Amino acid sequence: MARGSRGGFGRRLGCSIGALVMVVLVVLGVGWWIGQRGLPTDPDGPVPPRETPEIAQPADCADVQLLAVPGTWESSPTDDPHNPAFLPQALLRTITDPLSEQYPGDRLEVYTVPYVAQFRNPQRPDEITYDQSRAEGTERARAEMAATHEHCPYTSFILLGFSQGAVIAGDLTNEIGTGNGPVPADRVLGSVLIADGRRLPGEGQSPGLNPGNGQGMEISLQPVTGFTQLIAGATMTGTRPGGFGELADRTAQICDSRDLICNAPLNVVDGAARFQEFVANNAVHALYATNPDVIIGTTVPEWTIGHIRELTDAAPEIAHG
């Protein structure tokens, strides 16, 4: 009887020890599992999160750079990009001057691309060809954006262009939006194209009255580009492959429906005659500064200034190292 009692006691003791060992193993296993997941095992509290290093860039970098590309005959390759004086009444100056006065340079840098900005035609035989002018403006704008992004990687950009400058700014918007530009698309806050010769209905956003009966001159006249090259050195490049890509919802297309530069007829029967008409079409094309019929209730400069202010005010403030 005593032997049986001792045997029962031994079995109970063995079971207890076995259960204890199992508990210890489970606790050790849970501790290992928690450690592998990177969760805190310290009973005093959770591990504090890692500090994110502060984003900073050189002291001479602005939070936002506004890249303005003037229209034909409104710029010069020797003009001062930070204080343009070639044509005081240039359309874009009605936009950039008030913005420069409102914002300090470390918040908004206004850079007006200096380029030849010419368009040779029979009435101006000594002018540089459109192709040469456009290539120079595009290269200078692209180089400025690339240099700024390399030196100031956290600076955001806004693109602005009028007429020939709108074609250049639009082409850069296309490059960036389709992943082939000098800066990443997420660094561009917006683009404003006024009287874009490559305007295609449905591409970008129209803040004003959306002309639905035409398209940019360079699209309509592409079938007769041999003629336009002959008399003006102007290649009609057609539509932009890929449109504005990622920047489609950040690109504003502004065009007066009567302006043949950005709203040419879809079908051009007599290319020669219509090209001469487009080149001479300066009446409406030259009135965007005061025209009240493009964006209801305001003018193009007033709307653009307000739009750029909204983009600038919403942009992050970057610390300067």
Tens-digit pLDDT profile for residues 137-149: 999 999 999 999 9
> Rounded to 5 degrees, what are φ and ψ at 190?
180, 170
Catalytic residue among 156, 163, 191, 220: 163
* More confident: 182 or 18: 182
Q: What is the pLDDT of residue 112?
A: 98
Mean pLDDT of the chain: 84
For the chain, the first-to-last Cα distance in angstroms comes to: 88
Q: What is the pLDDT of residue 11?
A: 47
285 is catalytic: yes
Q: What is the pLDDT of residue 304?
A: 98
Average pLDDT over residues 222-233: 86
Catalytic residue among 149, 191, 220, 285: 285
What percent of the chain lies above the pLDDT cut of 90?
Answer: 65
Q: What is the pLDDT of residue 236?
A: 93
What percent of the chain lies above the pLDDT cut of 70?
Answer: 78
pLDDT above 70 for 203:
yes
Average pLDDT over residues 185-189: 98
Model-level pTM? 0.82
Confidence tier at 230 by pLDDT (50, 70, 90): confident
Ordered strands of the 64-69 beta sheet: 108-112, 64-69, 156-162, 188-194, 251-254
Q: What is the pLDDT of residue 277?
A: 65
Q: What is the pLDDT of residue 46?
A: 57
151 is catalytic: no
Helix 164-177 with 130-151: angle, nearest 10 deg: 50
CATH of 63-315, one of 1.10.260.40, 3.40.50.1820, 3.20.20.70, 2.170.150.70: 3.40.50.1820
Q: Which residues of 118-151 are buried (b: 16+ CB within 10 A; e: fewer)?
A: bbbbeeeeebbbbbebbebbbebbbebbeebbee
Ramachandran quadrant class, 120 (left: phi over 0; alpha: psi -120 to 50; beta: rest): beta
pLDDT above 70 for 9:
no
Residue 297 CB neighbour total at 10 angstroms: 8
Confidence tier at 125 by pLDDT (50, 70, 90): confident
- Asked if 87 and 187 count as a contact pair (C-beta separation under 8 A), the reply is no
Q: What is the pLDDT of residue 6?
A: 42
313 is catalytic: no
What kind and span of H or E run contains 173? helix 164-177
Q: What is the pLDDT of residue 237?
A: 94
Q: What is the pLDDT of residue 48?
A: 56
Q: What is the pLDDT of residue 320?
A: 83
The gap from C-alpha 64 to its chain's centroid, in whole angstroms, comes to 11
Q: What is the pLDDT of residue 279?
A: 62
Q: What is the pLDDT of residue 21?
A: 40
Q: Could you state, in order of their start, the residue ranges of all structural domains in the chain?
A: 63-315
Window from 26-35, 75-84, 237-246, 281-290 with minimum mean pLDDT:
26-35
* More confident: 55 or 262: 262
Note the pLDDT tens digit of each residue in 166-177. Answer: 999 999 999 999
Q: What is the pLDDT of residue 282?
A: 64
Note the pLDDT tens digit of each residue in 275-308. Answer: 666 666 568 899 999 999 999 999 999 999 999 9
Confidence tier at 265 by pLDDT (50, 70, 90): confident
Looking from the CA of 36 toward its CB, the CA atoms found within 13 Å total 6
* More confident: 5 or 72: 72
Catalytic residue among 79, 196, 256, 259: 259
